[in-house]
Homo-oligomer: A and B are copies of this chain.
Amino acid sequence: MSFGEQDLNRAFLALADPTRRQIIARLSTGPATVNELAEPFKMSIQGISKHIQVLEQAHLVTRTREAQRRPVHLNPALLTELTGWIDKYRLLAEQKYNRLDAVLKDRSAHSG
């Protein structure tokens, strides 16, 4: 599955909202309908519905159809893509630090 800049924009933006993160946390324990997802919030159903659409466009969730209900499912594959992006640069940066550590240790060993 190809994964462009636009997808990263949408996915990280989706995670930047506490309501949407709470929805993701809920979905990690299993699928749920819009009404079920809305229950813990003071927000209107329409507001929650919008949040779910944002998550869906970011491919963080998918929806099936079940009579008049439309259960929402978390898509863990996309979460993997996100951690992949972050880890790439985290590891590069940490390697830099490790090399610096090595240099400093080497210097103190020579001077001590």
Where the two chains meet, the residues of A that have a C-beta atom closer than 8 Å to any C-beta of B are: 5, 8-10, 12-13, 15-18, 21, 24-25, 27-30, 74, 76, 79-80, 82-83, 85-90, 92-94, 96-97
Chain B residues whose CB sits within 8 angstroms of the CB of A8 once the complex forms: 15-16, 18, 21
Q: Are the CB atoms of B16 and A92 closer together than 8 Å?
A: no
Residue of B nearest to A100 (CB): B30
A78 to chain B, nearest CB (A): 9
Q: Are the CB atoms of B76 and A97 closer together than 8 Å?
A: yes
A11-B21 Cα distance, complex, nearest whole Å: 13
Chain B residues whose CB sits within 8 angstroms of the CB of A87 once the complex forms: 79, 83
9 smallest A-B Cβ distances: which pairs?
Answer: A13-B16, A12-B16, A28-B89, A28-B92, A79-B90, A12-B15, A76-B93, A83-B83, A28-B93
